[in-house]
Amino acid sequence: MNVIPQKVIVVGGGIAGLNCARHLLIRGYTVQVLEATRRIGGRIKTDRQHGFLLDRGFQVLQTAYPEAQSALDYARLDLCCFAPGAMIRIGGRFYTVADPRRRPGHVFSTLAAPIGSLGDRLRLLRFTRRVVGGSLARIFEAPEQTSMEMLRSEGFSETMIQRFFVPFFGGVCLDPQIQASSRVLAYVLRMFASGEAALPAEGMAQIPAQLARDLPDDCIRTGVRVRAVAADGVRLEDGTRLPAHAVVVATEAPETERLLGRRVKTRSIAETCIYFACRRQRWHPPFLVLNGDGRGPINNLVFPNVVAEGYAPAERSLVGAVVLDAPDRPGPDLAGRVQAQLVEWFGAQAAGWEHLRTYRIAHALPDQSPPTRNPTRPLTMAVPGLFVCGEYGRLPGTQWALVSGRQAAESAGDYLRSVQARGRP
């Protein structure tokens, strides 16, 4: 008996959709990925400008992500790692706070940093040990509250919360009030404690590019916007209908809600990333730099080329400053206010730093406040034949995007096998 080849359309060329396509192809299905923009990657994009690599929003790959370890070839990405820890700006000075296990030379500066008491440090050590042990599923099955509520219930001082957790965790989740789920905080601490924060040598866009290289040349179509989806195909903006045996929606949450015809309920969190260029100096740190004072627009900044040299031309440095969304912060003078704060931090030399580009990202992340779903459990089928992956109904991030893509492929494969077993084409 001849078996009719089954075709699956994946709407969205971010890493969730690409990983879904990859797993579907492994299972023997014909796959078409439709991406609305002119290039793949979703929110993971890198621009080249005058020899600099500008990621669209500061991002890193946590090497401890289990699904990334499975889906990606770290050696081919040529990962370059930040120093484990951070520099924190407090009271007009910078303090280095590093993991003493991996940076024993910074133990005294870490102890001297005015980020909290000795008791706070011991609480952080105990809490980190607790979340590192056990499975990821256990973290997402724990009782849930906001991260701020959890930190206070754990006994952390307000000094520790405001000078360390707010700029660090607030920067990860773009949430200066740290109202994101306590489960997310536990997960983030586990990843930072278990691995390295890394950049691919040629920019973050190398991650989706690597996933795409595993797909056939004719598998991906860019510049194709989908108007509507159904279990048996999609309709494009130009009216063209493309039939399929199953469809996977792998877009950002607001777009997924539009395509599914559901009431928009996702709250988008915005960020602004501003890049400057300057002459490279030996003092430029390999750490993430945090604003422990909470004053001014900058939440955190980084010198990416200090760890990944390809981010800037020879003798030059790239400076990336992240501004969290707030009503008083966006505006045409934001780059000027950021540069004024850089002058306050680094002296008059920063007045001459060249402004390269400002990225205002309206949907940088979805809101992650409680209640949240357990992202280790599949949530894939909207209706029979129509599947969903990515951040919709889950948590955002590289790990969960890759997981959801694989889960959607597995669910679609199970569905198509059952349909074929019933004798339907």
Asked whether residue 173 is assigned to any structural domain, the reply reads: yes
Same-domain check for residues 70 and 92: yes
CA distance 330 to 320: 16
For residues 281 and 360, membership in a common domain is answered with yes
Alpha-carbon gap, residue 30 to 379, rounded angstroms: 23
Place of tokens 């690597």: 210
Do 350 and 274 reside in the same domain of the chain? yes
Count of the separate structural domains present in the chain: 3
Cβ(307)–Cβ(319) below 8 Å: no
* pLDDT computed for residue 101 by the predictor: 67
333 within a domain of the structure (yes/no): yes
Token pair recorded at residue 19: 């990983």
In whole angstroms, give the CA distance from residue 398 to residue 361: 17
What would the pLDDT profile of 360-394 be if each residue is shown by its tens digit? 999 999 999 999 888 888 777 888 999 999 998 88
E-assigned strand segments in 262-379: 268-279, 288-291, 300-302, 316-324, 354-366
Q: How far apart are CA 52 and CA 200, in angstroms?
A: 14
- Does 1 reside within a domain? no
Ranges of residues in the chain with a pLDDT under 50 are 1-2, 327-328
Domain-terminating residue out of 344, 366, 388: 366
Burial class (CB in 10 A: 0-12, 13-18, 19+), 42: buried
Residue 168 inside a domain? The answer is yes
**pLDDT in the model for residue 93:** 94
> What 3-state DSSP class applies to 340?
helix
Which pLDDT belongs to residue 327?
46
Looking at the fold, whether 231 and 284 belong to one and the same domain comes out as no
Specify if 331 maps to a domain.
yes
Residue type, 363: H
Domain boundary among 346, 366, 386: 366
- Looking at residue 329, which CATH number applies to its domain? 3.90.660.20
In 3D space, the residue among 301, 296, 355, 356 whose CA is nearest the CA of residue 326 turns out to be 296
The pair phi, psi for residue 32, each rounded to 5°, is: -125, 120
pLDDT at site 341: 98
The structure tokens 């980084």 sit at 302
pLDDT of residue 68: 97
Using DSSP's 3-state secondary structure scheme, residue 148 falls into helix
155, 123 contact by CB (below 8 A): yes
User: What is the Rg, in whole angstroms, of the alpha carbon atoms belonging to the chain?
Assistant: 22
* Distance separating alpha carbons of residues 296 and 392, to the nearest angstrom: 33
CB atoms within 10 A of CB 376: 17
Among residues 144, 173, 195, the one where a domain terminates is 195
Q: How far is CA 272 from CA 9, 55, 155, 225, 328, in A?
A: 33, 12, 33, 26, 13
Instruction: Sort strands 7-11 and 246-249 into parallel, antiparallel or unpaired.
Output: parallel
CATH number of the domain within which 256 lies? 3.50.50.60
Residue 59 sits in the same domain as residue 191: no
Q: What is the pLDDT of residue 1?
A: 36
d(CA 70, CA 63): 11
Residue 80 shares a structural domain with residue 213: no
Same domain, 262 and 272: no
Do 61 and 204 touch, CB atoms closer than 8 A? Answer: yes
**Which pair of tokens denotes residue 26?**
């492994």
Please tell me whether residues 235 and 279 are part of one structural domain: no
- Asked, for residue 226, whether it belongs to a domain, the answer is yes
Q: Are 230 and 386 in contact (CB under 8 A)?
A: yes
- Conformation bin of residue 363: beta by default, left when phi > 0, alpha when psi is -120 to 50: beta
Coil, strand or helix at 255 = helix
* Amino acid letter, 272: T
Instruction: Verify that 381 and 253 share a domain, yes or no.
Output: yes
Residues 249 and 382 in one domain: yes
Tens of pLDDT along 29-75?
999 999 999 999 999 999 999 999 999 999 999 999 999 999 999 99
> What is the token pair recorded at 272?
């602004």
Residue 308: its pLDDT value, please?
A: 98
The answer to whether residue 230 is domain-embedded is yes
State the DSSP H helix or E strand holding residue 77, giving kind and residue range, or none if neither.
helix 74-77
Same-domain pairing of 232 and 281 = no
> Domain check: are 12 and 70 in the same one?
no
Residue 381: which domain range?
Answer: 7-42+205-266+375-421
Please report the DSSP string for 195-249 in residue order.
S-EEEETT-TTHHHHHHHHTS-TTSEEES--EEEEETTEEEETTS-EEE-SEEEE
The overall pTM is greater than 0.85 = yes
